[in-house]
Amino acid sequence: MLPLLILLTLLLAGDPGGTSAATPPPPPQPNLPIGVNYGANADNLPAPTAVAAFLASKTTINRVKLFDYNPTFISAFANTSISVAITLPNSLLPSLADKSTGLTTAVSWVRANLAPYVPATNVTLLLAGNEILLSPDPNLILALLPAMRRLAQALKSEGFPSIRVSTPHYLGILAPSDGIPSNATFRAGYNTKLFPSMLQFHRDTKSPFMVNPYPYFSYNPQTLNYALFRPNAGIYDPATKLNYTSMFEAQMDAIYTAMVKLGYGDVEVAVGEAGWPTQAEAGQVGVGVKEAQDFNEGMLRVCSSGKGTPLMPNRTFETYLFSLFDENQKPGPVAERHFGLFNPDFAPVYDLGLLTDGKSVAPNPSPNPSPKPSPKPSPSGGGTWCVAKNGANSSDLQNNINWGCGYVDCKPIQTGGACFDPNNVQAHASYVMNAYYQANGHTDSACDFKGTGTVTSSDPSYGDCKYVS
């Protein structure tokens, strides 16, 4: 067997191809559109038609990603507002990649498995396999890009030019590094022999480069707050002078940096999978309903609200949360069976503000929070401020901190910051709540925080800690 890099060089060069008990925090912003992975490796789930009707009529979820091309599932979404991404099996890729017969195979597949359901079902993505680069089979890896090209050609020739072709990648496509985004590159070999051609394909076809960033698989007890979008000291990137307080954002910017280094920073990035389990092995630190809620709320803020990441600000990302339901028949560790957002009866496992009837949507301080209030609060000199009520439940106040730090600059309450002392939840929450209040029009509703905030005319600033006014 030829070494992998030689095989990559030969095949890619030769393929011209074509183209908790505490009260839940307020959700990040009600009614944010979001996608979800719909897996069905379980024996207790509702029928696909019921799922489709629920998503379309009761939630703000506007797209689903299927892990196969089961016609029952595809047709269930016919005549709904939900767009669908369907996945071709890894095993099909070599036949699609064949130079002489691959295009014919791709056309036949499109006619048999896609054409009967479109346009009644709004299929928007074809995914060529799943995390192919994890495969130990170099021939499968070599088939990936040629198969994507053949699929794109077949879609165009069969009258479906708006359906895009992509493939989800695991984060191991990046070379091992120190976690500093600016140091990121794609793995050796892939960096020169695979991804330049693949990113050119995405540019040519206006399709997204899809990644599966999972802080859950990279965290440890020391980095839990960093992984869950909770207040933390962060990771400083000396090259960009940016401080990352979210592992997810650092992972996204690492991917973006690797793309930029190859000259493809203009290609859209999509999130194929990301989530956090509600159960795992006994004694595992950092897993539970509250942790899953905090992570997914943070990811919604980054991907769907327009906040973006430090290197990709003010952007939204096509994103698919993992996952719609727990899947009780999945093999592997306990966590694999407990990523679900909804129970089989469609009741939310926890509140992300995804139900349109309002039953799971907690009040938000403002319908349009500003993602970028002033990073350097100026000394206050009058007016009104928002602070935590005396006697407010500490868990509720911590929830306010966790949520608010997704929208305001929390560096002053982190270690070494001007407002770190007194190091208690009442003081820290007051700072965060006020920063949010001031950035959102200093209205009473922006200081509500589910009844834990109060407006005051007394300046709460002290020493070097200056509250915005």
Return the active site residues.
131, 273
Phi and psi, residue 212, nearest 5°: -115, 80
CA angle, 129 then 131 then 137, to 5°:
85
Q: Is 420 exposed, middle or buried (0-12, 13-18, 19+ CB in 10 A)?
A: middle
User: What 3-state DSSP class applies to 353?
Assistant: coil
Answer whether 369's CB lies under 8 Å from 436's CB. Answer: yes
User: What 3-state DSSP class applies to 247?
Assistant: helix
In whole angstroms, give the CA distance from residue 383 to residue 424: 25
In whole angstroms, give the CA distance from residue 48 to residue 90: 24
Q: Find tokens 């000259």 and name the residue.
A: 263
In whole angstroms, give the CA distance from residue 417 to residue 412: 4
CA angle, 175 then 178 then 183, to 5°:
65
CA torsion angle 158 160 161 165 (round to 10):
-100
Q: Which residues of 293-302 are buried (b: 16+ CB within 10 A; e: fewer)?
A: bbbbbbbbbb
In whole angstroms, give the CA distance from residue 112 to residue 128: 16
Per the structure block, which two tokens stand in for 360?
């799971």
What size, in residues, is the chain? 469
Q: Find tokens 């021939």 and name the residue.
A: 139
**Strand 34-38 and strand 61-66: pairing?**
parallel
In whole angstroms, give the CA distance from residue 291 to residue 289: 5
User: What 3-state DSSP class applies to 110?
Assistant: helix
DSSP 373-397: --SSPPPP-SS-EEEEPTT--HHHH
Nearest Cα to Cα of residue 411 among 253, 234, 228, 180: 234
In whole angstroms, give the CA distance from residue 461 to residue 64: 47
CA angle, 254 then 260 then 266, to 5°:
110
In whole angstroms, give the CA distance from residue 217 to residue 181: 18
